[in-house]
Amino acid sequence: MNIAHLLQRSALVHGDRPAVLVGARPLHDYRQLAARVAALAGHLRLRCGVQPGERVLIYSANCPEYLEALHAIHWAGAVSVPVNYKLHARELAYVLGDSGARVVCVSAELRDAAFAAGADPAALQLLGGPGWSQAARGVPLALQERAPQDLASLFYTSGTTGRPKGVMQTQRNLLAMTMAYFTDVDEVHPDDAMVYAAPMSHGAGLYNYAHMLRGARHVVPESGGFDAAELVQLAAGVGRLSLFAAPTMVHRLVEHIRSTGADASGFKTIVYGGGPMYVDDLRRALDTMGQKFVQIYGQGESPMTITALAREHLMDTRHPRWEQRIASVGVAHACVEVRVADAHDEPVPPGELGEVLVRGDTVMAGYWNNPEATAQTLRGGWLHTGDVGQLDVDGFLTLRDRSKDVIISGGSNIYPREVEEVLLLHPRVSEVAVVGKADAEWGEVVIAFVVADGEPVPDAELDALCLEHIARFKRPKQYRWVPALPKNSYGKVLKTELRARL
Ligand code: AMP
């Protein structure tokens, strides 16, 4: 079974329904989209010589041709390598070499960057250029059969530490991930619309499959990215709008709606995840927009699918453990098993901290060209996520921090997120990241990088806030006010960079 089958099926069942929109403007219906994809697959095979199993890289910001390229690659039985378009030329060069991509689908504005990274000019296919339009009208290729264990996509981990690794996502992985959207995240109707406000090379793009399956609309914003005012306008114009958003985007969208009093009824579902959502932000989001949120926790190695925190749980304010639940990442997706284990991979009892392990059909086949990392990460048949967390008696998982972010001070573990949650309670703290700094006496001490909302606050005020909520030893030794936190292009704070500044 080839994941491109989802598009083929929707072209039959929902042929006349709008498939792709740019802003509120319909571009192709499902029949047209499938015809273009089959022709582009023909082009990849016949003109570019791409054989099933070969890799094709996509290096582009969000655009309607992104979806065409992705599905044409699948349709031809090849392996998509979606690359973050904000990567540095050096990183792109690494991914090009490591994946051994035969073709690079690139948007016009990134062509020079692709050259700079060493892409072979003959291997470039310009998304949306005249050649592309012509290829989309060419000879269609029959959908290529794939086996469930065949590779569908190579996803390079965002690499907040070290060199990126190519996560091997199989056909089975992507299909299981797609079904998991319906079991644990949301129902989708053909009238729904998925807007790509976050990079399509990452989580947002992975949600295309569930919407492809249901014959829903795919909306590429005119801006190509996240713009709160534009999203609000799109929700009003397009209606039944869903999106995947990093917590920082949710924060910005909610603040925009609060400050403008805009009508948010056109939004259907906002799936947030990819990084910690602070409880204070979440409360404001629920207050402002109500029952529209679902959280997911996943990683490239088990794409979008480890746990989910459902709408019902977020809205169940009368539940005695509601406070803890909204600070959790929810319960295991139906198609995977999740456990928390000690250093010997033995499960720990509820309430105890350990590493989060995952097993099931969404778990990757391994890392491309990297048997050592594969053996280490998949040892004992479980994916070792590198995330530290605890399960409660009802099966809700609360994440602490990535194991490498935990601060050990005077022999005690300090979880930065706990300190960050407290500092964010201050109305004039807009963003914060807590890291450890090497210290001769304590091993490590706690340092907080803080972004002010307006004027910085005296340290004593933040100290008092910490003393009110957490143990004295967790209080930062220093507050460093910065204009912004360094983030990667998916909005994740780069703690490695902050540590390097220390
Ligand atoms: P990536 O593979 O780039 O998607 O990064 C995955 C990592 O992001 C996970 O291992 C977690 O550390 C973090 N992450 C993903 N979802 C969540 C979430 N809902 N809450 C907190 N952290 C998350």
How do residues 285-304 score in pLDDT, each as one tens digit?
A: 999 999 999 999 999 999 99
**88-92, 171-175, 196-200, 446-450: which has the minimum mean pLDDT?**
88-92
Q: Which distant-in-sequence residues (6+ apart) come within 8 Å of 183 by Cβ?
A: 333, 334, 335
Per residue in 54-89, pLDDT tens? 999 999 999 999 999 999 999 999 999 999 888 777
- Encode pLDDT of 209-232 as tens digits: 999 999 999 999 999 999 999 999
The 10s digit of each residue's pLDDT in 385-400 is 999 999 999 999 999 8
Which of 304, 390, 399 best tests ligand 1's pocket when mutated (most atoms within 8 Å of CB)?
A: 399
Q: Residue 157's pLDDT is what? A: 86
Question: pLDDT by residue (tens digit) across 102-111?
Answer: 999 999 999 9
Check whether 162 has a pLDDT greater than 90. Answer: no
Where would I find the beta strands (DSSP E) of 274-350? 293-299, 302-309, 331-332, 336-341
Alpha carbon separation from 140 to 43, 447, 483 (Å, rounded): 8, 58, 52
pLDDT band with cut points at 50, 70 and 90 for residue 418: confident
Q: What is the largest CA-CA distance in the chain?
A: 71
Report residue 422's pLDDT band, with 50, 70 and 90 as the boundaries.
very high
Contact present, 329 and 356 (Cβ < 8 Å)? no
Q: Is 79 helix (H, G, I), strand (E, B) or coil?
A: strand
By the 8 A CB rule, do 428 and 457 touch?
Answer: yes
CA distance 475 to 467: 7
Confidence at residue 415, expressed as pLDDT on a 0 to 100 scale: 85
pLDDT surpasses 60 at 133: yes
Residue 330 gets the label, from left (phi > 0), alpha (psi -120 to 50) or beta, of left
Residues 6+ apart with CB under 8 A from 267: 235, 241, 242, 243, 289, 292
Phi, psi values for residue 175, rounded to 5°: -70, -45
Average pLDDT over residues 451-464: 94
Domain ranges for the chain, please list them: 1-16+26-169, 407-501
pLDDT for 161 beyond 60: no
E runs forming strands in 30-118 = 55-59, 79-83, 103-107
Nearest protein Cα to ligand 1, atom 6? 299
| Contacts with 5 (C-beta within 8 Å, 6 or more apart), sequence order | 143
pLDDT, residue 55, reads 98
The structure tokens listed for 88 are: 């540095």
d(Cα 66, Cα 82) in Å, to the nearest integer?
9
Angle between helices 5-13 and 30-42 (to 10 degrees): 140
- In CATH terms, 1-16+26-169 corresponds, of 3.40.50.300, 3.30.590.20, 3.40.50.980, 1.20.58.220, to 3.40.50.980
Among residues 93, 174, 218, the alpha carbon closest in space to that of 363 is found at 174
Expressed in angstroms and rounded, the spacing between residue 132 Cα and the centre of ligand 1 is 35
Lookup: tokens for 246: 């990093």
Q: What is the pTM of this model?
A: 0.89
With the most atoms of ligand 1 within 8 angstroms of its CB, the residue from 387, 390, 397, 418 to mutate is 387
Q: Which of 297, 313, 385 to mutate to test the pocket of ligand 1 (most atoms within 8 A of CB)?
A: 297
Does 1-16+26-169 match 407-501 in CATH topology? no
Q: How far is the CA of 329 from the centre of ligand 1 (A)?
A: 10
Cα(401) to centroid(ligand 1), Å:
10
CB within 6 Å of ligand 1 — which residues? 157-158, 273-276, 295, 297-300, 329, 385, 387, 399, 402
At the topology level, CATH places domain 407-501 in GMP Synthetase; Chain A, domain 3 (3.30.300)
Q: How confident is the model at residue 159 (pLDDT cuts 50, 70, 90)?
A: low
% the chain with pLDDT above 90? 86
The pLDDT of residue 169: 98
